Amino acid sequence: MMKGLWRKFDSDWGWNLSRLLAYTFLSALFAVLGLILIMLAFVLRFFGSHIEQDDLSYLFGLLPNHVTSAAAASFAYSLRSTPEPLLLLGLPVALWYSTRFFVVLESCFCVIFRRERRTFLRQNRMALAMLGVFLLLLPVIVFSVTLTPHLPFFSPTASASSASASRITVSGDDTTLVALRASPLWTTLGILGGLVANFVLLLTLYTRVTPGFVSVRAAWPGALLSATLAQGYLLIFPLYTRFILQPDHFGSIAGFVLVSLMFFFAYGFLIVLGAEVASWRAGIQTTPHEITAALAHLHLLRSSAEASSAQHKQPPVIGIIREPAPMAPMPVESVDERATAV
């Protein structure tokens, strides 16, 4: 089974689909962040007098990365002075780009599950519905990432450095968050909450985004596998970035981009891996050829079929038909010759 599953993953261009999902997810996530901040700007226009700046700083401080929280806070405060027509113009743009991830994800699932794509209207209705599900689960995922600790190496120096690293990821008044991270109960709730949220999101993606839908019985093992691996990846990813990637050598912004690309590539890989498991359980086995070979074979079949149909449309040739020889002209008699003959 594992060999056949790996052959299907490779023939379906699983690595390329993972890269495609990583780029699309990264761009869509910034669009989702912009959409949330635009709606927050409208809220601040109407209820700004009742919302203190310290409360907003505390909310942005709960984001899992100090670069992300600083950028989000700066963007939100700049939106407070943006004219309302520009905000209204940016709302549909942010909504459009926020849903593109689910449209691209449907195309990837069409390759994995051997399905045809939906029409334009049905595709975008599905994307809007999935965006609503994602926005509902996003707070649970974000707070789970914030509360989830990472696994330290078994040395006092590494443990101290990992503990200090976990504290610099939060800006502002972080005493409450540090206390929550130190509590085993909240840490366990954060890990379980992230696991459940990822499982529900992935199960919904596999069963509803795929055209024609996929049964829950076939999709839940792949969703559980991907959610478990994603939650484990969150535990070890800070160590990977600190000791292997070392993004501080590239500067804060470039290091943040590098870390984001690596993280979302891994998450895209886990989404594709779970989809491959779900498709395998749904009875979709590997093809004898990869995508390029299958397309080339399909092109040859279509070309031969068109040539055969064009040959059948020509009139059949039974034999060679000779044109009749031209007849010799009849002699024209004059009136005197006919009179003499009479």
Residue 151 · residue 236 · CB < 8 Å: yes
Indicate the domain borders of the chain: 2-148+183-293
For the chain, percent of residues with pLDDT exceeding 90 = 26
Number of other residues whose CB lies within 10 A of the CB of residue 332:
6
> What would the pLDDT profile of 178-237 be if each residue is shown by its tens digit?
666 667 777 788 888 889 999 999 999 999 999 988 999 999 999 999 999 988 887 777
Query: In this model, does residue 40 exceed pLDDT 80?
Result: no
Least confident of 98-112, 229-243, 297-311: 229-243
Query: In this model, does residue 279 exceed pLDDT 60?
Result: yes
Query: Residue 109: what pLDDT?
Result: 94
Query: Residue 299: what pLDDT?
Result: 80
Q: For the whole prediction, is pTM greater than 0.95?
A: no
Query: Residue 284: what pLDDT?
Result: 86
Burial letters 257-295, b for 16+ CB under 10 A, else e: ebbbebbbbbbbbbbbbbbbbbbbbbebebeeeeeeeee
Measured CA to CA, the distance from residue 126 to residue 130 in angstroms comes to 6
Query: Residue 259: what pLDDT?
Result: 73
Number of other residues whose CB lies within 10 A of the CB of residue 164:
9
Query: Residue 226: what pLDDT?
Result: 93
CA proximity to 79, closest of 61, 60, 101, 99: 60
Least confident of 248-252, 267-271, 291-295: 248-252
Q: Give residue 288's pLDDT band: very low, low, confident or very high (50, 70, 90).
A: low
DSSP letter string over 95-123?
A: HHHHSHHHHHHHHHHHHHHT-PPPPHHHH
Query: Residue 61: what pLDDT?
Result: 53
Query: In this model, does residue 53 exceed pLDDT 60?
Result: no
User: Residue 251, Cα to own-chain centre: how many angstroms?
Assistant: 28
More confident residue, 51 or 31: 31
> What would the pLDDT profile of 130-183 be if each residue is shown by its tens digit?
999 999 998 888 777 777 665 544 344 333 333 333 333 434 445 655 666 667
Query: In this model, does residue 316 exceed pLDDT 80?
Result: no
Least confident of 13-17, 281-285, 288-292, 331-335: 331-335
Residue 238 · residue 150 · CB < 8 Å: yes
Task: Compute the C-alpha angle 68/71/73, nearest 5°.
Answer: 105
How buried is residue 36: exposed, middle or buried, by Cβ count under 10 Å (0-12/13-18/19+)? Answer: middle
